A = this chain, B = another copy of it.
């Protein structure tokens, strides 16, 4: 195996995915990596590892909102190190909330301490760079995400630094979006495949209200559960940016730029 790794170590660079947050977001990212790859046969596809250990990572929102003390970044960092030791040279994590500095910094510290030679691709930076590339300066960007992601201003700060104006739904609507993601009765975390019509309906309503009432020019799906429900590339004529898909594209680019398939639609209907 060592020989194999060495033989293939240069390009494409193996991609490691910290999954489990949630599990379906992990497999959605794998699928999108495959879609972004120019491949005519099995062998053209990139080396990808998905490590999905949902029960081993403390709750991200619970930590950020002060309900638990254990920082999930510790275990996330452990999984990153494990992936790097398996040969991963590019890492991605399909969970926006886990990119909050208090969590991510702890994870990156652990990764750096391991001295592994691996590059982490941020979903936040990838998505915001992409939005900036399709949006006029000062453009209004409608943002859907978990309450924890919105409260930590992960995307808002990054969008503002990129010269864009983040627009979030009203408080009641944010709570509804959170329900669509995490309600035990109908949320995407509990009903992922297929997503419940109620969860999809809430998310479509929230997106439509951002478009109609708040005059946004892009809608950014800033939670990796949401694209499991909204697969449209545009809603009411407004482009929808799926952060998972953009992360997949940037992982392919970082692994092997020659294999990046630029010809695909950013999102495809199921």
Interface 0/1 of A43-68, CB less than 8 Å to B: 11101111111111000000000000
A110 → chain B, closest Cβ, in Å?
9
Provide the residues of chain B in CB contact with A86, threshold 8 Å: 51, 82, 86
| Given A1-B81, A45-B55, A82-B86, 10 further pairs, Cβ under 8 A | A4-B56, A4-B78, A20-B45, A24-B34, A27-B30, A27-B31, A42-B54, A49-B50, A49-B52, A50-B50
- Contact between A55 and B31, CB atoms less than 8 A apart: no
By beta carbon, the residue of chain B nearest A23 is B45
- 6 A-B pairs with the lowest CB-CB distances in the bound complex, closest first: A1-B78, A22-B42, A42-B54, A50-B50, A23-B45, A43-B55
- Contact between B190 and A40, CB atoms less than 8 A apart: yes
- Contact between A43 and B47, CB atoms less than 8 A apart: no
What are 10 A-B interface contacts by the 8 Å CB criterion? A4-B56, A8-B56, A22-B42, A26-B30, A41-B189, A42-B189, A44-B55, A47-B53, A47-B54, A49-B52
Provide the residues of chain B in CB contact with A39, threshold 8 Å: 23, 190
Interface 0/1 of A1-43, CB less than 8 Å to B: 1001000100010100001111110110011001100011111
Provide the residues of chain B in CB contact with A270, threshold 8 Å: 270
Size of interface on A: residues with Cβ below 8 Å to B: 49
By beta carbon, the residue of chain B nearest A60 is B42
Instruction: Verify if A184 is at the interface (C-beta below 8 Å from B).
Output: yes
Instruction: Verify if A221 is at the interface (C-beta below 8 Å from B).
Output: no
Query: What number of copies of this chain does the assembly contain?
Result: 2
A191 → chain B, closest Cβ, in Å?
9
Q: Among the interface residues A39, A52, A79, A192, which one has the most CB atoms of the partner chain B within 10 A?
A: A52
- Contact between B8 and A55, CB atoms less than 8 A apart: yes
Q: Interface majority SS on A: helix, strand, loop or mixed?
A: mixed
- Contact between B184 and A31, CB atoms less than 8 A apart: no
Choose from B20, B30, B31, B42 the contact partner of A42 (Cβ within 8 Å). Answer: B20
A71 → chain B, closest Cβ, in Å?
14
**Alpha-carbon gap, A39 to B43, bound state (A):** 34
Instruction: Verify if A193 is at the interface (C-beta below 8 Å from B).
Output: yes
Instruction: Verify if A75 is at the interface (C-beta below 8 Å from B).
Output: yes
